[in-house]
Amino acid sequence: SVGEIFSTLLSGATLYLGKKELFLSGDKFTKWLKDQAITTAFFPPSVLKVTPYEELPNLTTIIAMGEACTSDIVKVWGKERTLINGYGPTEATIGSTAGVCTPDMEKPSIGTPNSNERIYIVDDNLNLQPIGIPGELCIGGEGLARGYWNLPELTKEKFVRNPFIPGEKMYRTGDLARWLPDGSIDYVGRIDDQINIRGYRIEPSEIEHCLLENPNVKEAVVVIQTDYLCAYVIV
């Protein structure tokens, strides 16, 4: 919400807020976009996926953030308008990279670092990875959080000394990524089993643990099916 609200108001534009039910209403939502003459919109890719495409002459820019943006979404919603794919965790004040995606791309990238952010892709020993080799994406620069409230051990694990700039910290995201030859970044996946659905970070192992607390459940596994979770249990 920070990136959406303040970028709109600081540029002198009008901010339109909508309820969740509206965003998931299909044709009703596209009619609302047209009636309000919306020019720029921030959407999680999952909203674009369930919204029927319509020619919207006023809608010239779409910013997709919160979860992975797939090539099929870009092919539909990137036609004759600017579709920007953004990436960034809350720990780095939300937006860290951004790039324009076009329908001819084989796979949308997450763009290049914002001007006040520094992106490092490193191996297990925090050595920089060469172009094309996956590694953990780490973030430094302005806007980095101080850590997690009342969680000193997790803060120590994730907010580490920046080996490339003395006196600074960098955040270890746990995301796998690689540099592309053109200077943009390809998001590969997660190092752990954490998943992201509609902008929410979810640890399947935590859900499995809760299921196993039920005395009738002997085994449990939680998997992701496109954009929802599915739990399997043995009783």
**Same domain? 14 vs 30:** yes
- pLDDT tens, 176-191? 999 999 999 999 988 8
The predicted structure's pLDDT at residue 225 = 74
**Same domain? 155 vs 215:** no
Query: Using an 8 Å Cβ cutoff, are 186 and 106 in contact?
Result: no
**Same domain? 208 vs 192:** no
**Which of 124, 174, 180 lies closest to 154 in space, CA to CA?**
174
CA distances to 8, 149, 156 from 11, rounded to whole Å, are 5, 32, 37
**Same domain? 142 vs 216:** no
* Residue 98 host element (H or E): strand 97-101
**Same domain? 137 vs 227:** no
End-to-end CA distance of the chain: 42
**Same domain? 31 vs 85:** yes
**Total of domains in the chain:** 2
> Which residue type is seen at 208?
E
In this predicted structure, the answer to whether residue 226 has a pLDDT above a threshold of 70 is no
**Same domain? 81 vs 193:** yes
**Same domain? 18 vs 52:** yes
**Same domain? 117 vs 215:** no
**Same domain? 97 vs 184:** yes
> Which residue type is seen at 100?
V
CATH number for 164: 3.40.50.12780
pTM: 0.80
* Residue 43 host element (H or E): strand 40-43
State the virtual CA torsion across 111, 91, 13, 110 in degrees, nearest 10: 10
Range of the structural domain that residue 221 is part of: 203-234
Q: Once rounded to an integer, what is the mean pLDDT over residues 102-124? A: 94
Mean pLDDT of all residues belonging to the chain: 90
Query: Bridge partners of 84?
Result: 63, 100
In this predicted structure, the answer to whether residue 198 has a pLDDT above a threshold of 70 is no
**Same domain? 54 vs 117:** yes
**Same domain? 75 vs 177:** yes
- pLDDT tens, 80-112? 899 999 999 999 988 899 999 999 998 999 999
Q: Which residues contact 133 (CB under 8 A, 6 or more apart)?
A: 178
